[in-house]
């Protein structure tokens, strides 16, 4: 089982508790998006089920070679259940919530005796998506856990979970990755070498946010966008318009916006002692920040709306003394 970069300390804590026979039956892993929470949960499930760890005493990182580890890697372990939102054939979308039937099914699974050993694990990939009924049904499993069962829950904001659920879990916060781990993770994600430094800047410790940059065309387009905005108060409108019409459909909108923010950050820092014009800039920034959601919500056309926001931002920046 490969390492999960950036979360060694948490994994060590889990393995130590496992070795001491004092593993909490429900872990809630929480932290920002794109930092590898689910990847870690998957690794912990493998650690828990690995044949070498069955006697607890010599617990260590999953061996990656035993029958159990191979089944986990192949996604076919009979004692491992992944609970996620279900695909709805009618709406052609994922269901909005994790529902009560799913939770009941999971608790049923955890109450059975395991096929390979006495251990079973359920991983709830989007615990924050449990609706009130589902969370209520969870309580029974949290209060009276079946012997040998383990629940690993993942969410971004632990405080958004019902207090009744949260208080019965072991809360484990996961931090964004540090710079060294980021370099390794981004390299491992196949992000082109010339884009890694820029990707690290955009990702801000959350490598999952820049996953799309593993596509060289996306990475190159974002680098070009960043170059184009090197002087954001005087960028070339014609070139910006060209870039937008060529790329806006294919490049993830949040990365387009993040690139703009990366470009204007130095200007804001230069002006931090002087608030002249700051209101107008912040207003333009706010408009741009919600642009990706507005596109979907109001079914706007991406190219003209992005260009309009960029022109508003450019105009606002020009009013700043040190732009
Ligand atoms: Zn193993």
Q: How far apart are CA 274 and CA 154, in angstroms?
A: 43
The whole-number pLDDT of residue 272 equals 83
Cα–Cα distance, 116 to 49 (Å, whole number): 9
pLDDT at 314 over 70: yes
Going by pLDDT thresholds of 50, 70 and 90, the confidence category of residue 315 is very high
Cα-to-centroid distance, 73 and ligand 1 (Å): 10
Please, what is the average pLDDT of the chain? 93
Q: At residue 99, does pLDDT exceed 50?
A: yes
Residue 79 alpha carbon to ligand 1 centre in Å: 14
Question: Which residue spans within the chain are E strands per DSSP?
Answer: 26-30, 80-83, 87-88, 93-94, 120-124, 149-155, 170-173
**CA gyration radius, the chain:** 23
Distance 184 CA to ligand 1 centre (A): 25
Question: Would you say residue 125 has pLDDT above 80?
Answer: yes
pLDDT value at position 56?
63
Q: What is the pLDDT of residues 126-168, one digit of tens each?
A: 999 999 999 999 998 999 999 999 999 999 999 999 999 999 9
DSSP string computed for 26-86? EEEEE--TTSSHHHHHHHHHHHHH-GGGTTSTT--S--S-SHHHHHHHHT--TTEEEE-PP
pLDDT of res. 277 = 87
Q: Is 319 helix (H, G, I), strand (E, B) or coil?
A: coil
Per the DSSP assignment, residues forming a β-bridge with 173 are 30
Assess whether pLDDT exceeds 60 at residue 1. no
Q: Does residue 3 carry a pLDDT above 80?
A: no
Distance 62 CA to ligand 1 centre (A): 5
Between the CA of 109 and the centroid of ligand 1 the distance, in Å, is: 22
Q: Which residues surround ligand 1, an ion (CB under 5 A)?
A: 50, 62-63, 66, 69
Neighbours of 89 (CB within 10 A): 7
In the chain, the percentage of residues whose pLDDT exceeds 70 is 98
Q: For residue 67, how far is its CA from the centre of ligand 1 (angstroms)? A: 7
Whole-number Å distance between alpha carbons of 95 and 75: 22
- Residue range 136-147, pLDDT digits in tens: 999 989 999 999
Domain boundaries, the chain: 8-173, 215-318
pLDDT in tens, 48-87: 999 999 876 778 999 999 999 999 999 999 999 999 999 9
For residues 253-265, average pLDDT: 97
Distance 64 CA to ligand 1 centre (A): 5
What does each C-alpha distance from 106 to 81, 120, 138 come to in angstroms?
7, 10, 9
pLDDT at 48: 96
Does this model's pTM top 0.85?
Answer: no
CA pair distance 173, 13, nearest whole angstrom: 12
* Fold observed for domain 8-173: Rossmann fold (3.40.50)
Q: What pLDDT shows up at residue 44?
A: 97
């Amino acid at each position: 089982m490969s390492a999960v970069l950036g979360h060694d300390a948490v994994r060590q804590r889990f393995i130590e508790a496992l070795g001491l026979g004092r593993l909490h039956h429900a872990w809630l892993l929480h932290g920002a998006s794109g930092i590898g929470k689910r990847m870690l949960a998957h690794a912990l499930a493998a650690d828990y089920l690995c044949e070498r760890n069955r006697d607890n005493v010599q617990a260590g990182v999953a061996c990656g070679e035993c029958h159990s580890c191979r089944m986990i890697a192949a996604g076919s372990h009979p004692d491992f259940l992944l609970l996620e939102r279900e695909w709805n054939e009618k709406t052609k979308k994922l269901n909005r919530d994790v529902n009560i039937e799913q939770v009941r099914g999971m608790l049923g699974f955890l109450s059975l005796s395991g096929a390979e050993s006495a251990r079973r694990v359920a991983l709830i990939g989007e615990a924050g998506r449990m609706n009130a009924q589902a969370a209520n049904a969870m309580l029974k499993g949290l209060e009276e856990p079946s012997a040998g069962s383990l629940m690993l829950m993942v969410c971004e904001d632990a405080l958004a979970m019902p207090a009744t659920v949260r208080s019965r879990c072991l809360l484990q916060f996961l931090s964004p990755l540090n710079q060294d781990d980021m370099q390794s993770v981004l390299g491992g994600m196949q992000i082109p070498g010339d884009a890694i430094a820029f990707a690290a800047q955009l990702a801000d410790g959350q490598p999952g946010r820049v996953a799309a940059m593993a596509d060289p065309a996306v990475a190159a387009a974002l680098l070009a966008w960043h170059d184009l905005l090197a002087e954001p108060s005087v960028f070339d409108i014609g070139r910006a318009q060209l870039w937008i019409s060529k790329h806006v459909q294919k490049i993830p909108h949040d990365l387009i916006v993040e690139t703009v923010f990366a470009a204007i950050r130095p200007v804001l820092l230069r002006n931090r002692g002087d608030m002249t014009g700051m209101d107008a800039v912040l207003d333009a920034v706010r408009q741009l920040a919600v642009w990706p959601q507005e596109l979907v919500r109001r079914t706007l056309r991406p190219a003209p709306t992005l260009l309009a926001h960029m022109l508003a931002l450019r105009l606002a920046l020009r009013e700043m003394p040190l732009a």
